[in-house]
Amino acid sequence: MADTTNATAPVKTQRDNKPARDDKRGGGFRDVQKEFQEELLGIDRVTRVTAGGRQLRFRASVIIGNGKGTVGFGMGKAGEVVVAIEKAVRDAKKNLLTFNIIDGTIAHDLTASYKAANIFIHPASKGTGLIAGGAARKVFAVAGIKDILAKQRGGNNSITNARVTMKALAALKKVKITSKTPIVASAEEGVETPKVATKKAPAALKAKKAE
């Protein structure tokens, strides 16, 4: 009888001798920490009129921030919600605003107006929290502000309120800390003020916050 022991033995090729590679092309999730926190302000349906008729699109408004005094607001339009949000985030990164946060709050009082909206912002003592509503609260949160008092008047549009808040914070852009016990320069060059003068939240606002 013929010897057939080697007839079924597998034949190794040059490819089999190569070490197995760790294929990382897709099929998994990358654990990458985002540089900015993203806060969706709103999704609106908009209609675009073309020669072929009306096209339904989506407009996304987004606020981003790094929690360390950098914040941005952006908007984007697209036929899909996800794409609109991505465009809004890219737009926000092009419009970043950086300012100093001192002891969790801002350096001085701020006021600003944009279209029909007006905002009044005051520094607050530690532990006050974010006494603000709507878009302004989201801007403060992602920017990294912990304690602040803000009052908005004249506008109910979230986009307008976000823009007026950003306009107010832009006045802090020139604020510089000149010592460990902060003496800060106001938005007007050459004007120096002592350490942040904070305000305590009214009892009614604190009670509302506790509810």
Q: Which pLDDT band, with edges at 50, 70 and 90, does 194 fall under? A: very low
Supply angle C-alpha 72, 74, 80, rounded to 5: 140
Check pLDDT > 80 for residue 187: no
Check pLDDT > 50 for residue 189: no
Domain boundaries, the chain: 37-205
* 8-state DSSP, 201: P
For the whole prediction, is pTM greater than 0.75? no
Check pLDDT > 90 for residue 138: yes
Distance of alpha carbon 85 from alpha carbon 62, whole angstroms: 7
Distance of alpha carbon 108 from alpha carbon 139, whole angstroms: 17
Class of domain 37-205 as given by CATH: alpha beta
Chain centroid to CA 11: how far? Answer: 59
pLDDT tens column, 12-68: 555 555 555 544 444 443 333 578 999 999 999 999 888 888 889 999 999 999 999
Could you tell me if 66 and 35 are in contact, meaning their C-beta atoms sit under 8 angstroms apart? Answer: yes
- 3-state percent helix, strand, coil for the chain, nearest multiple of 5: 20, 30, 45
Q: Please report, rounded to a whole number, the percentage of residues in the chain having pLDDT higher than 70.
A: 66
Task: Give the three-state DSSP class for 132.
Answer: coil
In terms of Cα–Cα distance, which of 99, 115, 105 is closest to 169? 99
Q: Give the tokens for residue 138.
A: 């989201």
